[in-house]
Amino acid sequence: MNCSEKELPAESSPTKDEFKKCPSTPNLQNIRDLSSEHHREDHANGYLPIGNRFHQEEAVSPSAGSGRGSLLDLYGDDDNSYVQVSPTPSHHSLRRRSTDAGGNRTSTTRSVHSTTTKRRSAIPELQNLDRYGFRKQNNYITLKDYDNWWQNYSKYCVRRKHKWQLFLTKSGLSLNGDSPTKFPPQSEKLKRYVRKGIPAEWRGNAWWYFARGDEMLNKHKGLYDKLVDKCQAEKVKVRDIDVIERDLNRTFPDNIHFHRESFQVEDPLMIRSLRRVLVAFSLYDPNIGYCQSMNFLVGLLLFFMNEERAFWMLVIITKKYLPEVHSVNLEGVNIDQGVLILCIKQYLPELWTKMESTYTNDGEIGSSDQQDALKQMEILNKLPPITLSTASWFMSCFIGVVPIETTLRIWDCLFYEKSHFLFKVSLAIFKLCEGELVEKKPSLLFSQNIFASFSNESLLSNHTHDWAAHQNMNRDDYDMILFQVIQTFPKKLLNPNDIFDKVLFKKKIPLNKLDQDEIDKIRKYVISQRKKWVRFNKVLKKGDSSSSAIVAEAKVDSRNAAVSKEFGMSDDMIADVLASELSGFKRMSLAGVDWNTNIKARVKQMKQQGK
């Protein structure tokens, strides 16, 4: 999650002011006024205003046409307008599409009572929001780009939904009034359908189904309510409560459902739900508690399902899909970044060569062979700079990294195909901007490095931004370009099909061979290598200063039993390293053999020194 993506360019600030002054949409205001208690109890209906199960709206406007429809149009009308202004000043009409029990889509128009001021200020704003209440426009995407894309993509969504309806019907599954709860068994066809996008109004149910939410919920019936009651009644001291509170209003602050107006005494309904889920979770799993990024995960889930389900989905995500990623030491983040780096090395070798050239080794050991060996080892531990950017991709499962519709398509596949899909998407993003990254060749001849230029100050003063574009750019420049591209490029992926059609559906692109089995194996490998590194590091560091002394020290120090054993039995250790070299890649083209040869040499050398 980057702090810049929701920021508007300076010229759009009047709109933003307008937004802030505008007391939200009349409907939403009413929604927010509903009691939170009611919201929590009404698990079946009490979640976000999307899809056809937005019952709060019914409560607000009993006069509504079909009574089943969304606040925001999920697909967009043919005239591409969400809101039509009624000529009568005391009403405004929200034109939208809804779906009846048979799944037929109908258009209804209905009126909502409200004051003129509220209405008028709200209307232009709604047009600038997408179907989930996010701003269409940001620093990277213009309103025009958005509308042009949406015109086609909304049609694509309608087509896909139709295909899904046929698929379910043919599989003998009920559409359950446009809210199917069961989906066909796993198959290539289903995988393809999921990859092409689950219909927006089915997402909550589909994610829940694919993640096996019911299994979890049935095992712990009523637990969520108990946890919430516990938090509220006993005022239990939750360890991370301060951090949670500070993050609530910093979760999708620009989204209309999360945005709190300055005049509002109470938090919006969504924020209250978010608080309950996060606090309940930190009670439920004290090993994780609360980790920044979980606010966004739950926030997004709440668009599609009720609190209780969102809670259990968070449990499933943190346990099954992203183990250890949100734990107190964030070790899972480091492991996944190690895995990602190995994947880049394996599937995008050209890019890796470029990245590696910017990754400098702090090691001070003699020969270059040894340096290479240590550098290789270090990579999985002192991760390359690019992982500063990519760590958040995994923590937030791409929320805020790519535009919302693209995020949702990734989530569809995440729950169906498990965590390897996040790696696949990461590689696909790198693949898409590979050209941009590989072309920018950092000069390996640092003859024109900054200090050479620095000696000539008159030259310096003439060199500003152009300097970076100079073909003899240095490593720092390349790093900056790398960071910039990797941070900016995904934010422009407005059309999910860009990434799916151009990369993920292309069987000839090697990265598509990556599967869950492979990722699980690489993960195990990285875990073992990271643990080993800690031990090696102790030995190598101490070995440098005085090998014999360290052997003696290790032998007497019981805490260093493992070190002692390893050092004393280095042949075993070498065997151990070689055995663990099975990194999980189907094609074993990792430079593992060289690496091990070097370690072997190093250990032998140390052993001799020790004698």
Partner 1 sequence: MLQFKLVLLGDSSVGKSSIVHRFVKDTFDELRESTIGAAFLSQTIKVESEDQQEVVIKFEIWDTAGQERYKSLAPMYYRNANAALVVYDVTQEDSLNKAKAWVEELKNKVGDEDLVIFLVGNKVDLCEGSDNEDKRAVAATLAKQYAEDQGLMFDEVSAKTGHGVKEVFQAIGQRLYDTKKEELATRQRGNGNDGQVDINVPRPSTNDTTGCCS
Q: Which residues ranging from 251 to 280 are in contact with partner 1 (CB under 8 A)?
A: 251-253, 259-260
- With respect to partner 1, which residue has the nearer C-beta, 234 or 362? 362
What's the number of CA atoms in the CB half-sphere (13 Å) around residue 63?
Answer: 6
Q: Does 505 contact partner 1 by CB under 8 A?
A: no
252: left (phi over 0), alpha (psi -120 to 50) or beta: left
Q: Which of residues 460-479 bind partner 1 (CB under 8 A)?
A: 460-461, 463-465, 467-468, 474-477, 479
Distances (CA, A) of 293 to 2, 175, 240, 241, 296: 11, 34, 13, 15, 5
Binding mask 536-555 for partner 1 (x = CB under 8 A): -x---x--------------
Please state the closest distance from residue 555 (CB atom) to partner 1, in A.
22
Q: Does 483 bind partner 1 (CB under 8 A)?
A: yes
Size of residue set near partner 1 by CB under 8 A: 76
* Residue 504 per-residue DSSP state: I
At 132, which helix (H) or strand (E)? none
Asked if residues 325 and 336 have their Cβ atoms less than 8 Å apart, the reply is yes
Q: Which is nearer to partner 1, 537 or 609 (CB)?
A: 537
Q: How far is the CB of 476 from partner 1 (least distance, A)?
A: 5
Q: Which of 447, 471, 558, 608 binds partner 1 (CB under 8 A)?
A: 447
Q: Give the nearer residue to partner 1 in terms of CB position, either 57 or 130.
A: 130
The count of residues in the chain is 611
Sign of CA dihedral 87, 92, 97, 101: negative
Cα–Cα distance measured from residue 250 to residue 278, given in angstroms and rounded to the nearest whole number: 14
Among 11, 79, 234, 457, binds partner 1 (CB under 8 A): 457
b/e map 309-326, b = 16+ CB within 10 Å: bbbbbbbbbbeebbbbbb
Q: How far is the CB of 399 from partner 1 (least distance, A)?
A: 8
Torsion of CA 180, 186, 189, 191, to 10 degrees: 90
Question: Residue 582: which H helix or E strand, with range?
Answer: none
CB of 311 to partner 1, least distance (A): 20
Q: Which of 101, 534, 575, 582 binds partner 1 (CB under 8 A)?
A: 534
Assign 111 to helix, strand or coil: strand
Residue 182 burial by CB count (10 A; 0-12/13-18/19+): exposed, middle or buried?
A: middle
Which of 198, 386 has the CB closer to partner 1?
A: 386
Beta-bridge partners for 97 = 107
Phi, psi of 96 (to 5 degrees): -155, 175
C-alpha span between 521 and 297 (Å, rounded):
26
Q: Could you say which of 44, 166, 236, 450 contacts partner 1 (CB under 8 A)?
A: 450
Which member of 2, 142, 176, 371 binds partner 1 (CB under 8 A)? 2
Q: Least Å distance between CB 429 and partner 1?
A: 15
Q: Least separation, in Å, of the C-beta of 7 and partner 1? A: 6
Binding segment for partner 1 among 211-219, 350-358, 442-450, 517-525 (CB under 8 A)? 442-450
Task: Tell me whether residue 525 is exposed, middle or buried, using C-beta atoms within 10 angstroms of its C-beta: 0 to 12, 13 to 18, 19 or more.
Answer: buried
Name the residue nearer to partner 1 (CB basis): 8 or 509. Answer: 8
What residues have CB less than 8 Å from 569, skipping those under 6 apart? none
Stretch that binds partner 1, among 115-123, 216-224, 458-466, 563-571 (CB under 8 A): 458-466
Of the candidate spans 122-130, 228-236, 271-279, 452-460, the one that interacts with partner 1 by CB under 8 A turns out to be 452-460
Which residues in 368-427 contact partner 1 (CB under 8 A)?
A: 378, 381-383, 385, 387-389, 391-392, 395-396, 400
The reply to whether 453 sits near partner 1 by the rule CB under 8 A is yes
Q: How far are the Cα atoms of 24, 446, 447, 452, 473 from residue 457, in angstroms, in the given order?
A: 56, 18, 17, 10, 18
- By CB under 8 A, tell whether 22 contacts partner 1: no
Which of 325/504 has CB closer to partner 1? 325
* Closer residue to partner 1 in complex, CB, 44/534: 534
Nearer to partner 1, 71 or 527 (CB): 527
Residues 6+ positions from 251 with CB-CB distance below 8 Å: 258, 271, 274, 295, 296, 299
Residue number, 157 or 274, with CB nearest to partner 1 = 274
Tokens 């309950």 correspond to: 276
Q: Interface with partner 1 by CB under 8 A: which range of 39-47, 184-192, 243-251, 508-516? A: 243-251
Q: Is the dihedral of CA 167, 172, 177, 181 positive or negative?
A: negative
Question: Interface with partner 1 by CB under 8 A: which range of 74-82, 105-113, 343-351, 529-537?
Answer: 529-537
